[in-house]
Amino acid sequence: MKKTAKLYAVFKARCPQCRRGPIFTGSMYGFNIQRTLHHCPVCELRYEVEPGYFYAAMYVSYAMNMTEMIAMGLATYHFSGGRLDFDSLWLYVGVIFLGSLLLSPFNYRYSRVFLLHYLSPKIRYKPEYDK
Ligand SMILES: [Zn+2]
């Protein structure tokens, strides 16, 4: 069977070792809250490699959130016609706060996916599981 592409596995939030099993239960934006599974249902890889491993995902999430906040600030500046006076302060605060709130499920999911796929040297792709 064809191998699963890494970008596809990242996009679909699949296991970094087999690229088949899901990392989360529930959908990103749904009524069933997303939770990280303890291990991969396909290859049995333990996602939380050591206790407190996902604390490192906070740093990834922080970097993602800062990037998004800067982008939202620049977009607000652009779409408000370059307003940068004191009266438009709450516009910026509102847009950035609401945007960060709406993007938090996305950041939660993909910070863990990025941590597992790109920042975990012990976890390697094993094509023999990708069948
Ligand atoms: Zn797996």
pLDDT digit string, tens, across residues 61-83: 999 999 999 999 999 999 998 88
Is 71 within the bounds of a domain?
yes
- H/E element, 25: strand 24-25
Is 98 within the bounds of a domain?
yes
Q: Is the dihedral of CA 118, 121, 123, 128 positive or negative?
A: positive
Is 112 within the bounds of a domain?
yes
CA 20 to ligand 1 center in whole angstroms: 6
Q: Please state the φ and ψ torsions of residue 49, each to the nearest 5 degrees.
A: -55, -40
Q: How far is CA 1 from CA 59, 129, 130, 131, in A?
A: 36, 11, 8, 6
Over the stretch 31-42, which tens digit does the pLDDT of each residue have? 888 999 999 999
- Residue type, position 70, single letter: I
Is 63 within the bounds of a domain?
yes
CA 45 to ligand 1 center in whole angstroms: 6
The label of the residue with tokens 């991969």 reads: 40
Q: How many domains does the chain have?
A: 1
Is 1 within the bounds of a domain?
no
CA 130 to ligand 1 center in whole angstroms: 8
Range of the domain at 29: 6-129
